[in-house]
Chains A and B, each alone.
Chain A
Amino acid sequence: MSDYNFAYLDEQTKRMIRRAILKGLAIPGYQVPFASREMPMPYGWGTGGVQVSAATLTPADTLKVIDQGADDTTNAVSIRKFFEKTAGVATTEETGAASIIQTRHRIPEEDLREDQILVYQVPIPEPLRFLEPSEIETRKMHSLEEYGLMHVKLYEDIAKHGAIATSYAYPVKVEGRYVMDPSPIPKFDNPKMEMAAIQLFGAGREQRIYALPPYCKVVSLDFEDFPFEASKADHACDMCGATDSYLDEVIMDDSGGRMFVCSDTDYCTGRRQAGHIGAQAAAASAALEETAV
């Protein structure tokens, strides 16, 4: 017996998580309870996603970790280092080179393949939680497909704002059955959830795992007269010129200068390396150089 735990978790814990993942894949969108373990990082850092990744990784994997689309945040870097150390896996920042991608708050712009797995860090897995605080009640509502309140809430948005105001964690219905929280991704990403890769969701504090097999039917809730719209800033990326990517607004200087940049940094880098140039690319590099000095 060795005292070394591959990917940090002990074998019994991994078996328990693996069983939950399989049931999650067999019942898409249903939240499977699991006994979440203490991880050597705070809950806000995606312990649910980390446990799912730990139970899924093999030594042959190449792992990518993104936080709001970026690979270089403290959170993403520390999770990547954690698995380099405990599982000996290779890591990458390239979406196409990764076999497992753990994410917080984004889906990569590049289409994922059948041989890839996307693991989401989920803070609040229950889409009905803000309508009904009781777990016993929400479980009953899911069992009875009682989703009327959710539609009422979205409709109230329309009445109040003239549109559905929910722009993150926009609820979806999976295979015509379970209403699911896609985690706090922008609703721009919702249509990408019908993808070729396996999607696994882990909520550590709330102790839930759920999953979407490839090509699973995922429909954003909407109304006939107010159809769902995968909106984003009406702008092109100022760095790479992309018009099809989700953008972050970045403040450039004290005088209020700002620009729009792809939130998916690997996508933006790839496009710039391929020669695409955005409207403010030259100015932005100059500004960056200045800060570097």
Chain B
Amino acid sequence: MNTEVLKGGFGNAPVDAAYAFRAAMNAMACPGTVEVLQGAQPPAPVSVAAGTLLLTLCDPDTPLHLAGDFDCEDVRAWVSFHIGAPVVAAEFSMFALGSWEALAPLSRFAIGTPEYPDRSATLIVEQEVLAQEGMALRGPGIKDSVTMSLPETEAFQMNAMLFPLGLDFFFTSGDQVSALPRTTKVEVA
């Protein structure tokens, strides 16, 4: 085993995870806000924020899909050692990690059932940058409206139309995270 794999977990798991969860929760509760998410040192191409999200939310109970370049030996080994989540095909995943292009088509992911809309996938989308400009977002967690850059518009509009079913998204870049739940209405600003 590559000894690099042994590195990159939380230094103090209970406390690091507690701070990380609060950042993730604030991001999901207030779409469009950008939070700092640190603690993990995952192998490339996984960002610090995405690695920290995985350490905070995933474990052997959460099947994980690695899309495109993120499905590589280093990442698989790191996930296996630090998280223990089974790596699966998109349709069986509770969490998925990748670039926007690699995660498409989104129709592969679970959107929940009418009686259990929570049984839906959460997608972690790695971005070059997180910018608070671009699309206009409205909905729960947003006072009036906020702006945020998204990889596209239509996919999120379609997703919102599925409510209460649908996918929930985290966007990560470096040590930053923002989120977009299924309730957010996206419009071109």
State the A residues within 8 Å of B (CB).
4-7, 11-12, 14-16, 18-28, 30, 32-33, 55-60, 114, 139-140, 142-144, 175, 177-178, 196, 198, 211-217
| Residue interface bits B115-152, CB-to-A below 8 A is 1, else 0 | 11110101000000000000000001111000000000
Asked if B164 contacts A20 (CB within 8 A), the reply is no
Q: A7-B18, A22-B168, A175-B140 are in contact. Are A140 and B115 (CB under 8 A)?
A: yes
Measured between beta carbons, the chain A residues less than 8 angstroms from B58 are: 15
Give chain B's interface residue range (CB within 8 Å of chain A): 35 or more
B15 within 8 A of A: yes
B163 within 8 A of A: yes
Measured between beta carbons, the chain B residues less than 8 angstroms from A58 are: 15, 18-19, 22
Assuming A18-B24, A18-B25, what are 8 further A-B pairs, CB within 8 angstroms? A5-B14, A22-B57, A26-B168, A27-B117, A177-B163, A178-B164, A213-B140, A213-B181
Taking a contact as CB atoms closer than 8 A, the residue among A23, A57, A217 that contacts B18 in the complex is: A57
Measured between beta carbons, the chain A residues less than 8 angstroms from B29 are: 25, 198, 211, 213-214
Q: A213 vs B13: C-alpha distance in the bound complex, in angstroms?
A: 27
Residues 24-44 of B contacting A (Cβ, < 8 Å): 24-26, 28-30
Q: A32 vs B118: C-alpha distance in the bound complex, in angstroms?
A: 7
Q: A74 vs B25: C-alpha distance in the bound complex, in angstroms?
A: 31
Q: A14 vs B117: C-alpha distance in the bound complex, in angstroms?
A: 21
Asked if B14 contacts A22 (CB within 8 A), the reply is no
Measured between beta carbons, the chain A residues less than 8 angstroms from B115 are: 139-140, 142-143
Q: A19-B57, A58-B18, A177-B163 are in contact. Are A25 and B25 (CB under 8 A)?
A: yes
Q: A212 vs B30: C-alpha distance in the bound complex, in angstroms?
A: 11
Measured between beta carbons, the chain B residues less than 8 angstroms from A140 are: 115
**Most B CB atoms within 10 A — which of A24, A140, A214?**
A214
B56 within 8 A of A: yes
B110 within 8 A of A: no
Measured between beta carbons, the chain A residues less than 8 angstroms from B140 are: 28, 175, 212-217
Q: A58 vs B19: C-alpha distance in the bound complex, in angstroms?
A: 6
Q: A139 vs B116: C-alpha distance in the bound complex, in angstroms?
A: 8
Measured between beta carbons, the chain B residues less than 8 angstroms from A16 are: 61
Question: In the complex, which residue of chain A has the Cβ closest to the Cβ of B95?
Answer: A19
Q: A5-B14, A32-B118, A177-B163 are in contact. Are A26 and B57 (CB under 8 A)?
A: no
Residues 131-189 of B contacting A (Cβ, < 8 Å): 140-143, 163-164, 168, 181-183
Q: A25-B25, A26-B182, A143-B114 are in contact. Are A215 and B141 (CB under 8 A)?
A: yes
Q: A212 vs B25: C-alpha distance in the bound complex, in angstroms?
A: 12
Question: In the complex, which residue of chain A has the Cβ closest to the Cβ of B21?
Answer: A18
Nearest-CB distance from B129 to chain A (Å)?
A: 24
B99 within 8 A of A: no
